[in-house]
Every structure is written in structure tokens, then in C-alpha cells.
Amino acid sequence: GPFPGWDSADAAVVTIKAIPDTEIKLIAMNEWVPRSANGSSDDIAVHLSDPLFSLYLKNNSVENLTLVGQYMTTDEDFDDQNLTNVPPPFANTNGDFPSPTGEAYDTYYLEAIYAFATKTPFTVMAQYAGVDYDERDDSGFYGVQVKTKLAGFGLSAAYTKVDDDEDFPGVYGHRPSYAYTQSLALEPVFAGLQALKLAGDYGFQNGLKTSLALMLYKNDENSAMDDIAEIDLGLKYKFSGALDGFSVGIITAYVMYDETLPGGDDDDMFYTRANLDFRF
């Protein structure tokens, strides 16, 4: 997403790699600090009365095939929370995006990635995520993606579809950024949304990498999210020598809405995000 802040959490993670070609993670979280628009995230820390639990599995035992699965459950309904510093509509809820759940729920995620053993790299990916709400109708989304590389250009095409009944929750982090059609400005988690993403990138030998992506959104259930187009342009430079490990990047999104936004005079929007990164 376009926001510079990140969520944080107090959690314990146990990673198990005793099984060949398999990674298992056992996760328990008892406090969540959501990002805050006013920077005072320490004031809106959410202490979970019952810990959140998650199980993550990844397996590469079949050649060229990667299987990923994750399950998460929370009994927190947030009825006893008093988050007075959180702006509406997230006050007294878990703050999930795009619609606060304020109730217990379970989520699960499955993904399969197959890289063909061909001279030209070619990868096919499929994903499915589901949510079982405690009170509302269940929901989920599925996605497919193909990726290749030609003459140094990385190319990909992806499609995702969200169930019509309910939005998919943000799941303690606001956004499921693992969706294949994730973009800078928009989130492919709204009920009934269909998203198509076409993307390409090219890396130069001097450390410069460029990227370009086009996203098209259609939603018959929500006119505000219908017939939207977004173009993302990114630049990233990795330093070498004495500055090895340091990189800078910038990405800009131009969003074209089919109807004028509430309270606005324009139906187009710009987002820009800059990043500085250093790795030891």
C-alpha cells in the first residue's frame, strides 16, 4: 500500500527445519501495534486477551514445485477494547482493512508454484485464501500468475477474484500483500473485485532496476471500485563498493477512477513512495 508506516507485533516464532525440504513455523502473538496516521502508534497498541495462533508450512520435496500453506485463528472480538486514539472506523475494532471485523475469525492460505525446467524461465503460480467469520458470511479470493524472462526483461501477468459476499480482512497487518495483483495504491480484497495485473521489469548491470505495471479493476458489487486503472512506475538503484548493501528506490502510482471520489473535484490520483534500505 501507499502508507509509509508499518505494523509491528509482540510475537513468538518457532521455526522447524528437521524434515527434509520442509519449513514449519509455529507463531503466537499477544500484542499488535497498528500503523497510525498521526504517528502515535504506541498509544494504540492492542493487547490480545487470547493470543493469535498461526501455522505456516512450506515444502520443496517435488522438483521445481513449491507448496505453501498457512492457517491463522483469533478469538479476539475486541468488545472489551477501548482504542480511543484510533480514528473511525477502526475504533474499538481490530482495524482490519477494508472493513473492521470486530469479531473472531479463521483464515487459511494455499499456494502452488511450479517453475518449468526450460531454457527460457517460465513459472506458473496459483493461490487461494479463505476466511471463516464468526458472525458474517465467509469469504475468500483466488489468483493465478505466470512469469517469464525474455532478453533480460522480467514479464508477468496475474488475475485475482474476490468472493461476492464479503471483503477479505487485512489479517493483522492491514493488507494481504501476497495477492498477485497487489499494487501501490489499491488493495485487491474488496468483495466482488476482479483484478488484472500486467508487469515488467529490467535490471541494468550498473545496479539500476526499472519496473512498470498496469492494473485493471472491475467490481459489479461496488461502483466506487468499478472500472479503475492504475499505472505503477518504479526505479531502484543498488550501490556497490564502499556502499555495498545500500539501495534507494522510488515508485509512483497514477490511479484513474471511473467516478469522482467523495469530496473531491478530480477522479484521478497520484501516489509516490520513496525507500532507503541498508543491509549489513
For the cut 90, the answer to whether the pLDDT of residue 195 exceeds it is yes
pLDDT in tens, 126-170: 999 998 888 788 888 999 999 999 999 999 999 999 998 888 876
Q: What is the pLDDT of residue 127?
A: 95
Query: Whole-angstrom distance between the N-terminal and C-terminal Cα of the chain?
Result: 26
142 CB-contact burial (10 Å; exposed 0-12 / middle 13-18 / buried 19+): middle
pLDDT in tens, 225-262: 778 899 999 999 999 888 888 999 999 999 988 765 55
For the cut 60, the answer to whether the pLDDT of residue 87 exceeds it is no
Q: What is the pLDDT of residue 38?
A: 47
pTM of the full predicted structure? 0.82
CA distance 163 to 192: 5
pLDDT confidence bin for 70, thresholds 50/70/90: very high
